[in-house]
Structures are given as C-alpha cells and as structure tokens.
Structure 1
Amino acid sequence: MQRAAARALRGARSPPVRMRSVAARSPPRGLVYERHGEPPAVLQLKDLEVAELGDSDVHVKMLAAPINPADINMIQGSYAILSPLPAVGGSEGVGEVLEVGRRVAALRPGDWVIPADSGLGTWRTRGVFPEELLLKVPRDIPVLCAATLSVNPCTAYRMLADFQPLAPGDSVIQNGANSGVGQAVIQIAKASGIKTINVVRDRPDLPKLVERLMALGADHVITEEMLRKPEMKEIFKSIPKPRLALNCVGGKSTTEMLRHLQPKGIMVTYGGMAKQPVTVPVSAFIFRDVQLRGFWMTQWKRDHAQDQQSLASMIDALCQLIRRGQLAAPACTEVPLQDYKVALEASMKPFTSSKQILLF
C-alpha cells in the first residue's frame, strides 16, 4: 500500500499522457510543495500532469478536502510520515469517480470515494489513484460529512471502542474537546449513552464554545483551570468518574485530567498540541494502576490493511450515525481552492474551532 501511495503522489509529476475519455478536459490543478516549510510559503497552486489510467486505477474529481493539523505537519516536515517531494498536500477529502480501469471491480463512475490511507494528496481538482487506496462511501450523506469522515470520526470511534469496555452511563474525559476528534467523541458517546467531560482552553468566546459543544451532546464543558478546583466534586455527584481519558494536548492539562481517572483507568494520547511531555505522578501508577496508551489512526489502518471488513464496518457504523442525525461534520469554514492561503492561515491560528474545507 505504501508503494501504491507513492505512485499516486508521483502522478502529479508523471509525463502528460492521453486519457481515454477525458483527454479534452482542462488540466487538473493542485496545491504542490517542492520543499518542506511553512505551508503558506511553500505551497503553490499549479497545473498537474495527468497520470495514465491503468487497469486498476480510478480517475477521481475531488469535491471537498479539509486542512488537518497532520497535513500542516507533513508540509512542515515534522510528521511521522512524509510524502516524496514534490507532493500534493492533503490526506483527507471526498471525490466523485469519473472513470475506472477495466479491472476495477468495486467502483463505478458517479460513486463517492474517500482515501483509505494517509498521504494521498487530496488538495487537487482531479487525480488518478489505485483502487486499493480508495473507499466507497454513500452519496446520501452531506458532502462535508464525507469530506471529514476518514480521520477524526474514525479516530474517535476507535478510541471509544478499543481501549475500555464502556457501557451506557459510563463517562469519558477528554481535552481539546473543541477539536474535530473532540466533537466526534461527544456525538458518538452521546449516541451510545456515554457521558462526556470536555476540557477546553479558556478563551474570549468561551460561552459561545460551551453552548456549541453542549448542543452537540456534551454533558459537561470545563476549562483546564477547573480541573483542580472543588467544582469537580460536584460533577462526580451526578456521573461516575471516567474510566477513559483522551489526550491530544499534553503538558499540565494532561496531568490534571489524569487525576480524575478511576483506578485501572486508561489514558489514550493521540496528539500533543501543547508540544509538552505527558507527566504522570508515580502514585497514579502504584496506587491506582492507571495505564497510558497511544493511538494513531494511520497505524490502525495499516495494521488492518488485510482486514477490509473492519474498516468497512467502522465506516458503515459512522454513516449510520450521520444518517440518523447523531453525527454531524465539525464546525467548518468553506473556502474556494484559489483562496487556499486564507484557509491555511486560519487553520494555523490559536483557538481555532472551525475546520477549513477547500472546495473544488
């Protein structure tokens, strides 16, 4: 799969060739970076050469693609996986199938598809990709839900399902609750009858943020400073202490959140926005036997590359929640592709609660 991903990325610089039924189309365009650095400085909107449609390839017209923190880190050169340069940015999005190779069995023109793995290069108007790197999704879900489906909701789903056996009435505590993953955790937990305690950083528009997270189904929204205050005892009069903590921040926020875990509780770290280490009191290990785990959705997908049923079942479960109105796209700002610099700058600002979505 990694070789196929590299081939898909290299398609942006393949020699121009005649495509069967699309030769007359204007060249696709995409956001390309030839070196690592700050995205507004190194990304350029360029015409792309079209790779030949092979027997097992799919020609896709992109509809929408978000800007995620991992995309920023990949362009900066600081992420765990890096695409061969030059590369097209973007790892998530939704597209419509225009044409398929003669050996493609699962996809047809008109189908909607999302990436099956990271590094696909979704910030482009059109692209040719191997069938194995694409997943079919239903067309009856909102396009923004489809565009943001493969990373944050999947991460939230797996962390709620794989680390602790949670039952209705149990509780989960998470920081970064306004993030894309955090919003998905709130909604998926709510649909399962699981209570959520949601920690956010203090900010000028805090009441507005609290109102929005409560509308999604949050049971409690608190600031990092409240984690040490007596008011926490009031929360635990109505719900049990959490057995699962989800951490995407690090630093002091994580240490304070950990104090509220039940004995034998598990904290899962999936991000480090504060760029500070996770510090745990020795007593938490000795006297409460807490566990620290890590999670990376990309690694989960690669570990289950031969088990397509697990991935398909997860996507189906999430789409069912979307259809029932129990899982919405995160707060989004839709930006035309040509205004990508505005979207990049907005996505990199502190206290950002709206995900920037590039529209093609």
Structure 2
Amino acid sequence: MPSQWPKSAISISPRPCIRSQCLMERHPKPDLDRRRNISTYGYVQAKSLVYSKHGSPQDVLDLHTHSISPPHSSLLTLRTLASPLNPADINQIQGTYASLPSFTSTLGIPQPSAVPGNEACFEVLSAGSGAKTVQKGDWVIARHTGLGTWRTHLQISEEHVTRVDKEGLRAEQAGTVSVNPVTAYRMLKDFKTLKEGDWYIQNGANSGVGRAALQLGKRWGYRCIAVVRGRPGEEGEKLKRELEDLGATRVVSDEEMMAREFKEQVKEWTNGGKEEIKLALNCVGGDAAMAMAKVLGEGGCMVTYGAMSKSPMRVGASMLIFKDLRFEGFWVSRWSDQHPEEKKRTVDEILDLIRKGEFRDVPMVEVPWNWDTKKEELVDAVQGTLEGFRKGKGVFIFGDT
C-alpha cells in the first residue's frame, strides 16, 4: 500500500462564515438534509474512525466529526456504502504492516491522525465541474489502497477511483472485490501455468482468498487440496462440505497435513504421484507451510501472501537443489499499483461472475454504521476481528449517514 495518502485524497474545509452559520441556526429544518447531513451551502458532515498512534484498536481508535466543502475541479464527494474489515487494516492500526498511512492534520484534529481501511464501495454525491469519468449517483471503488475508508464520507480526485457498473450488485460485493478475489485470481494465473486437471494446494482455505481461489480454480478445471484449521465434530464436517461445494477436491485439517501419512495420502489422490502438485498458496507460514512444500512436485512453486502463524519458514536445501522448488511472495497492494489496468480488468471479470451468480460472496458479518452509531459499537466490531473463529468477514454497512 502507498506509504502516504495522495495530497488530493482528502479535502476538508473550515467552517462556513459566521453569517452562514447564523442563517443555518435560524433555519435548521429547511437547511439540512437529515439523511445525508448536507447543508444548503454544500457542506457535508462526515464521521471518521481515526487513530493518532499505533496500538490495539480498542486503545487507539476514536470517532471524529468534520465538514467537507463542495467539490471543485476534478474532486468528488463520496458517501461510503460498504467497507470491509481486512486483516491488513488491523495490522496498519497496530503499526505492524509493511506500509502505513501517514498521520496528517487534514481532518482538523489537533494531533496528526490517520483513517484506517483500504477497501470500500462509494456512491458519488457530487462532482466538480472538471470530473470527466464519473457523475452523481455512480458507484466507485479505490484505484489504489491507502485512502482510509472507515468513514461516512470523503473527498478525493476522480483519478484515484474507478467507476463500477452497479447493476445487479450489492454495495458489499463491490466493496470487497479488490483484495481477496483479486489476490486469488492473480496467484492462480501468474506464478505457474496450470491447465485443466492440474493440482494445487492451499492453506487458509476457508478465508476470503481461499474461498475465492476454490471457486475460480473449479471454474478453470483445477483440482485442489484445501487445508483448514481443525474444528470439532459437526462443525468441521459442515465446513468440509461447504468447501467441497465451492470447489475443493480434498479437504484436510492442518493436523492431518502435519501427520506422517499425509505424503502417502497425497500420492494416492494424485494417481500414485503421477499427477504432480504444481502450486501452493500459503497464508500461514512456519512448519505448516513447509508441510505443503513437501508434497509439491518437481519445479513447483509456493506463493506466500500472508503469515498468520508469524513463524519463519525453514526451507530445506533438498527442496531447492533436487526438487527445484520456487518460493515467491505476492502483495496485492503493490501489484495493483503497478498494474492498474489489469486490476480493473480482473475486478470487472469477477464482478461479472457475481452478477451471473457464478461467484459466491465470502460469509459476511454486517456491522451497521448510521449517523447515531456510537464509537464503542464500531470499535468493538474492529477489535472482534482479532478474536477466535469468526462467522464471516466483518463489513461496515453505512445507513443514514
């Protein structure tokens, strides 16, 4: 993600003049659209989650109210419709992510602050006279990460967003397409040439990326060994059936993968080892990642896009010398910044599959964000993403903001 926001990412105006304020106070009802908090003078009232230092979300997040002036030139005033709570967002708040937004004073907060969140779907409320690619009522998504999306409204130059066709879509579908599905798509396509019938293996298979990879792989005719954290009894069986329905050929727990007999089991599944596993997708790291590497065929490739275990991977020399394995990394933020047009094409293809009912959403837990929603409700939802098994991806759904 970019190390700092674009200078045009946020445009905050000072309060209206004293005369304007007096007029608004004398005539509050006709001067205010209560649903969208837009005054007759074009100022939009906005709320943003902010942080002025790194740490645990519950300790550092605050809710700030501010005003946004009418847009000019190519600026757009956007209303946020849906914004997910991704692991990278939490890591940025904690200060542990590879790229961190700069703390700025653009929101009018005495202490320089940042707005978390990197993915969202927005509605264009108004556009400056110089805007060419979008107009009022359009839906847009961020062209690059690092905008700070956990807010009700923002103002940004049109060059930093991309219009999406909203027909047949829900806001949360458009708002969650840029990270997980794009990551899965590019890893399956860009690191190893797979053809119909080929095998790959992935851990974290029930994550957003994992579920997207299963569906895309199934569509392209690939076969997959899906590895998940073990769950007891019926819960584990239910998840297994769910992932098989999405496209997994085999589903195993991480405990089963670490067992001695796993290699022989894989050999049995792959026609006595004649059908080699060519690709591994890794978001866990540590010994679990190396267990996957052991079943890769000669010349196979492991792509690492996460490190949930926070443990290093110890690659045996024999994997490099005798099996000629490749170990590579993938960071969708950097890829998106380097390939904006290819990202748009990938996003459009995935959204078209969603419209046709050929790509399912990741399970989501909706977090309502209305104008009167308390800070504690929002912060608790963010903090909750760090705790235990989750029923789905948290997504802020914005209502009467």
Answer yes or no: same fold by TM over 0.5. yes
Q: 1:47 to 1:220 in 2, by over 3 A?
A: same
Does the Cα contact within 8 Å between 2:43 and 2:70 map onto a contact in 1?
A: no
The residue type equivalent to 1:207 in the other structure is E
Q: 1:107 to 1:193 in 2, by over 3 A?
A: same
C-alpha distance after superposition, 1:14-52 (max 9, x if no partner): 534699986456611111111111112211122123155
The residue type equivalent to 2:268 in the other structure is E
The residue type equivalent to 1:352 in the other structure is R
CA distance in 2, matches of 1:8, 1:211: 47
Following TM superposition, by how much is the alpha carbon of 1:160 offset from its aligned partner in structure 2, in angstroms?
A: 0.9
Q: Determine the structure 1 residue equivalent to 2:364.
A: 332
Q: 1:353 to 1:171 in 2, by over 3 A?
A: farther
Q: Determine the structure 2 residue equivalent to 1:288.
A: 323
CA distance in 1, matches of 2:242, 2:188: 22
Q: 1:316 to 1:10 in 2, by over 3 A?
A: closer
Q: Determine the structure 2 residue equivalent to 1:170.
A: 198
Q: Determine the structure 1 residue equivalent to 2:162.
A: 135
- Alpha carbon RMSD of aligned pairs, Å? 2.3
Q: Determine the structure 2 residue equivalent to 1:243.
A: 278
CA distance in 1, matches of 2:356, 2:66: 39
Following TM superposition, by how much is the alpha carbon of 1:345 offset from its aligned partner in structure 2, in angstroms?
A: 2.7
Following TM superposition, by how much is the alpha carbon of 1:225 offset from its aligned partner in structure 2, in angstroms?
A: 1.9
Q: 1:223 to 1:115 in 2, by over 3 A?
A: same
> Could you tell me the percent identity over the aligned residues?
39
The residue type equivalent to 2:214 in the other structure is I
33-42 or 50-59, which deviates more? 50-59
Q: Determine the structure 2 residue equivalent to 1:161.
A: 189
Which one of 40, 65, 74 corresponds to residue 92 of structure 2? 74
Q: Determine the structure 1 residue equivalent to 2:102.
A: 84
Following TM superposition, by how much is the alpha carbon of 1:165 offset from its aligned partner in structure 2, in angstroms?
A: 1.1
CA distance in 2, matches of 1:252, 1:185: 22
CA distance in 2, matches of 1:10, 1:126: 10
CA distance in 1, matches of 2:16, 2:117: 24
* Matches for 1:141-220 after TM superposition, within 5 Å: 141-204=169-232, 205-220=235-250
Q: Determine the structure 1 residue equivalent to 2:289.
A: 254
Q: 1:267 to 1:273 in 2, by over 3 A?
A: same
Following TM superposition, by how much is the alpha carbon of 1:4 offset from its aligned partner in structure 2, in angstroms?
A: 8.4
Does the Cα contact within 8 Å between 2:44 and 2:68 map onto a contact in 1?
A: no
Following TM superposition, by how much is the alpha carbon of 1:267 offset from its aligned partner in structure 2, in angstroms?
A: 0.5
Q: Number of matched residues? A: 356
Pair 1:122-2:156 in alignment: no
Pair 1:355-2:393 in alignment: yes
- Secondary structure of 1:80's match? coil
- Secondary structure of 1:48's match? strand
CA distance in 1, matches of 2:16, 2:142: 24
Which one of 311, 331, 344 corresponds to residue 343 of structure 2? 311
Q: 1:3 to 1:340 in 2, by over 3 A?
A: closer
CA distance in 2, matches of 1:240, 1:133: 45
Does the Cα contact within 8 Å between 1:4 and 1:130 map onto a contact in 2?
A: no
Q: 1:256 to 1:40 in 2, by over 3 A?
A: same
CA distance in 1, matches of 2:186, 2:310: 24
The residue type equivalent to 1:152 in the other structure is N
The residue type equivalent to 1:216 in the other structure is L
Following TM superposition, by how much is the alpha carbon of 1:299 offset from its aligned partner in structure 2, in angstroms?
A: 0.7
CA distance in 1, matches of 2:14, 2:191: 47
Structure 2 unaligned regions, length at least 5? 18-36, 104-112
The residue type equivalent to 2:279 in the other structure is L
Larger radius of gyration: 2
CA distance in 2, matches of 1:350, 1:249: 15
TM-score, normalised by the number of residues in structure 1:
0.92
Does the Cα contact within 8 Å between 1:9 and 1:121 map onto a contact in 2?
A: no
CA distance in 1, matches of 2:14, 2:79: 20
Q: Determine the structure 1 residue equivalent to 2:50.
A: 32
Does the Cα contact within 8 Å between 2:2 and 2:99 map onto a contact in 1?
A: no
Q: Determine the structure 1 residue equivalent to 2:109.
A: none
The residue type equivalent to 1:46 in the other structure is H
Q: 1:352 to 1:103 in 2, by over 3 A?
A: same
252-261 or 312-321, which deviates more? 312-321
Does the Cα contact within 8 Å between 1:156 and 1:184 map onto a contact in 2?
A: yes
342-351 or 277-286, which deviates more? 342-351
Q: 1:22 to 1:178 in 2, by over 3 A?
A: farther
Does the Cα contact within 8 Å between 2:198 and 2:277 map onto a contact in 1?
A: yes
The residue type equivalent to 1:7 in the other structure is K
- Secondary structure of 1:319's match? helix
The residue type equivalent to 2:396 in the other structure is L
The residue type equivalent to 1:15 in the other structure is P
Q: 1:258 to 1:49 in 2, by over 3 A?
A: same
- Secondary structure of 1:178's match? coil
CA distance in 2, matches of 1:328, 1:74: 28
